[in-house]
Amino acid sequence: MNAFKQVPTVQTSCGPVFAFNETLGFQGFYLSYNRRDATTAICGPGFFLTLNGDHREKMAISANIGVSTLARYFAENISAASETSEHTWACGMTKTDPLKTRDYALKVFSVVDLEMIRLAAVSIKG
């Protein structure tokens, strides 16, 4: 498996802030796994594709091949998408996008990648 690294504790004036994430960096995004059992691709300055469960190994393998392969993995596992995942905003499935999530998504993924994720999400909604 790829070498995910534990995020270190940060000391602040109010005391320590503990991070419960392990991360693995790529160009333009990184993967994060937290002990609450969710794996996230954190892309650009801030949008999240989150799957419930431990997807570290397969997401890392996909990401090593390329972002389109990572998008395909996310689409193939869309039934595990977390409620906190921002794929619906990134794929233009919401009436509004106040955080400009789609703009951030397009800096990492192609329109084709996002359409693949959108179609997967629509297919499970029925």
Rounded CA separation 74/60 (Å): 12
As given in the structure block, the two tokens for residue 79 are 């039934």
Q: Per residue in 69-105, pLDDT tens?
A: 999 999 999 999 999 999 999 999 999 999 889 998 9
Domain count, the chain: 1
Across the chain, mean pLDDT equals 88
Indicate whether 57 pLDDT > 60: yes
pLDDT at residue 18, as a whole number: 65
φ and ψ at residue 120, rounded to 5 degrees: -65, -45
> What pLDDT is attached to residue 14?
78
| Ramachandran angles phi, psi of 48, nearest 5° | -125, 130
pLDDT at 30: 86
At residue 126, does pLDDT exceed 70?
Answer: no
Q: Give 6 or 55, the one with higher predicted confidence.
A: 55
Look up the pTM and report it: 0.86
pLDDT at 12 over 90: no
Name the residue range of residue 82's domain: 5-125
C-alpha 123/C-alpha 101 separation (Å) is 22
Q: What is the pLDDT of residue 2?
A: 61
- Between helix 111-125 and helix 67-76 the angle, nearest 10°, is 0
